[in-house]
Homo-oligomer: A and B are copies of this chain.
Amino acid sequence: TANENVIYGNRGMSLEEEINLSNKYYLETNVAVIHKKPLPIQIVNVDYPKRSAAVIKEAYFKQASTTDYNGVYRGRYIDFEAKETRNRASFPLSNFHDHQIKHMKACIRQGGICFALVKFVAHQEIYLLPATVLFTYWDRRFSERKSIPYTTIQEQGFLIDYQINPRLPYLQAVDLLIENLNSVN
């Protein structure tokens, strides 16, 4: 069972590192092809030395217009954002940007599967939060609260248990999302 494989003490690894390792395992075992998108960079000045590689001498970080990860799993388009918080009682919506939410809404309109992988560092817990739950709170963030309660995420999200391989078996939760979609249609 999953419990036999639970590993504690991944405190040194960032959420992104944990996801990247898991995606590497999924790729190598032919389960899914999911990659982190490179950071968008505005390049201003490049040096082309005669006998060596081009050197970027001046560049700036651009705001990403989409999310952290995308790819394909079971024929489905997968798209998600990874976020960590040190808060205990809620997940602040200020962690998300308007263009990320817009992008996820657009992907869902095309039949994609979107979610956030949310890590509560203090609880050492990672949840898959369906984008629809995120949207509900996001759309009311000015009229109601500016964060998603931890209890909501416990109830409406899927806890991802640490395992040996993949370290974060988050595609198990994606299977449940796909089942829900299939039962609705």
Count chain B CB atoms within 10 A of each CB in A33, A54, A60, A103 and give the residue with the most.
A33
Interchain CA distance A107-B54 in the complex, whole Å: 31
Number of copies: 2
Q: Could you say which of B33, B56, B79, B106 contacts A103, with CB atoms under 8 Å apart?
A: B33
Question: Does chain B have a CB within 8 A of A89?
Answer: no
Sorted nearest first, the 8 A-B pairs with minimum C-beta distance are A75-B111, A72-B77, A56-B59, A72-B112, A38-B40, A77-B77, A38-B38, A72-B110
* CB pairs A–B below 8 angstroms (13 shown): A30-B106, A33-B106, A33-B110, A35-B66, A37-B37, A38-B38, A38-B39, A41-B59, A54-B60, A54-B61, A72-B107, A76-B77, A76-B111
Q: Which residues of B contact A103 (CB under 8 A)?
A: 33
Partner of A73, one of B32, B56, B110: B110
Mask, A11-46, CB within 8 Å of B = 1, is 000000000000000010010110101111100000
Say whether A75 contacts B74, CB under 8 Å. no
Interface residues on chain A, number (Cβ under 8 Å): 38
A124 within 8 A of B: no
Mark interface residues in A94-115 (1 if CB within 8 Å of B CB, else 0).
0000000001001101111000
Contact between chains at B60 and A56 (CB < 8 Å)? yes
